[in-house]
């Protein structure tokens, strides 16, 4: 098992989904629950790619809905490791909707999730450390610590 730290860029996952009628509400907009499902899958793939282990969702910090997503839009989700702690890691997911007919692509959602790396017995195990390289990765790395501290504080209340 490779336990050497990895660059953040080595674990990025990009998924694309097509919004079909079964994914929409009565207004022809993507169901929030369907989007949350796609976000969770994209983040799980990212964390598993990073650790080379099964990783499970520990928490969903927040999902911001900036714009609705329409029937027939292509939805692209991009996930990356923001920061690794001990057994847990924060994964950020950005969501973009693209209308091929209109030739428009917009950032619709952002989400932060925490995953835990599991060993072969299903027990939490140390996760592979992440190395931020770009300025954006370094910013996300620092912000992840602030979010983690806020999560831990809210548990004490």
How many domains is the chain built from? 1
**Eight-state DSSP code of residue 23:** G
Looking at the domain assignment, is residue 119 inside a domain? yes
Rounded Cα distance, 115 and 100, in Å: 33
Looking at the domain assignment, is residue 24 inside a domain? yes
* Structural domain for 29, as ranges: 10-156
What local confidence, expressed as pLDDT, does residue 1 receive?
Answer: 56
> For residue 45, what are its two tokens?
């793939």
Looking at the domain assignment, is residue 2 inside a domain? no
- Looking from the CA of 103 toward its CB, the CA atoms found within 13 Å total 0
Looking at the domain assignment, is residue 1 inside a domain? no
| CA angle 106–112–116, rounded 5-degree value | 140
Looking at the domain assignment, is residue 151 inside a domain? yes
CATH classification of the domain holding 35? 3.10.129.10
> For residue 49, what are its two tokens?
């790619």
Cite the beta strand spans of the chain per DSSP E: 6-7, 13-18, 55-65, 74-84, 88-99, 104-117, 130-131
CA distance readout (Å), 29 to 20, 35, 99, 144: 10, 11, 13, 31
What local confidence, expressed as pLDDT, does residue 130 receive?
Answer: 97
User: What pTM, to 2 d.p., does this model score?
Assistant: 0.94
Looking at the domain assignment, is residue 33 inside a domain? yes
Looking at the domain assignment, is residue 4 inside a domain? no
What local confidence, expressed as pLDDT, does residue 2 receive?
Answer: 54
What local confidence, expressed as pLDDT, does residue 157 receive?
Answer: 73
Give the model confidence (pLDDT) of 89-122 as tens digits.
999 999 999 999 999 999 999 999 999 999 999 9
Give every residue of the chain whose pLDDT is below 50, as ranges: none
């Amino acid at each position: 098992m490779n336990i050497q730290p990895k660059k953040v860029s080595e674990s990025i996952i990009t998924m694309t989904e097509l919004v079909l009628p079964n994914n929409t509400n009565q207004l022809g907009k993507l169901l929030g629950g369907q989007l949350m499902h796609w976000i969770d899958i994209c983040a799980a793939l990212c964390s598993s790619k990073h650790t080379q282990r099964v990783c499970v969702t520990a928490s969903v910090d927040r999902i911001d809905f900036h714009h609705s997503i329409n029937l027939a839009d292509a939805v692209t989700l991009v996930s990356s490791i923001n920061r690794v702690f001990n057994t847990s890691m924060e994964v950020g997911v950005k969501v973009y909707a693209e209308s091929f007919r209109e030739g428009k692509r917009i950032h619709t959602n952002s989400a932060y999730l925490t995953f835990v790396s599991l060993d072969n017995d299903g027990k939490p195990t140390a996760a592979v450390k992440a190395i931020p390289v770009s300025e954006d990765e370094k910013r996300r790395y620092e912000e992840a610590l602030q979010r983690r501290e806020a999560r831990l504080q809210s548990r004490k209340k």
